[in-house]
Amino acid sequence: MHSSSGQIIQINISDGGTPKRPISEAQITPDGLIGDRQRNLKYHGGPERAVCLWSAEIIQTLQNEGHRIEAGSAGENITVAGLVWEQLVPDVQLQLGDTVRLLITDYAAPCRHISRYFSDRRYSRINQKHHPGISRLYARVLAPGTISVGNNVRIV
C-alpha cells in the first residue's frame, strides 16, 4: 500500500471511558460516532474532536515494546492501517469509505485512564510533545456517513 491510502481495521465505541469496544460498522455525524460517548467532555468530544483516529502500526510498535495496548484501548474510534502516520497533521483531510470526510484538527493528549495499558504506566509514550508522530488524532466531520471495517482511507 502506498503512503496516502490505508484501510479501517477496527471501529470502536464505548458508553464512556476506555477501552472502546469493536463494532463492524458505524454511522458518523458531526458529533461523532452514533453510540459512542466520552467520559470527560472537557477534554474529549465536541465538533472539533468528534472522531479520534489511531494507527494499527503504532499499536503494534507499542506491543513490541512490551505494552499491553490494543486497538480501542487508548479510546480511539477508528484504527487505521497503511498510512504513514507522521504525514497526518492538523488541516489534513481524510476520506473514509465513499461518504465520510474528516479534517484532522489536533493531536489527542493521552490521559491517566490509559496508564494501565503501558508496562511502565507512562502513557506519555503516546504524547505528541514527547514522541512526535505517534499520537492519536482528533478530527472534525466535514461529510457525515457510514463506515465499515475494511473501508479504504485516503489522504485528500
Reduced 3-state DSSP string for 30-41: CCEECCCECCCC
At residue 3, φ and ψ (nearest 5 deg) are -70, -20
Question: Using CA atoms, how far apart are residues 156 and 149, in angstroms rounded to an integer?
Answer: 20
Domain residue ranges in the chain: 5-155
pTM score, whole prediction = 0.93
Cell of 123: 502513557
Q: What is the pLDDT of residues 21-51, one digit of tens each?
A: 999 999 999 999 999 987 665 556 688 999 9
Q: Which CATH number fits domain 5-155: 3.40.309.10, 1.10.150.130, 3.30.70.270, 2.40.33.20?
A: 2.40.33.20
Cell of 8: 479501517
Residue 120: how many CB atoms within 10 A of its CB? 10
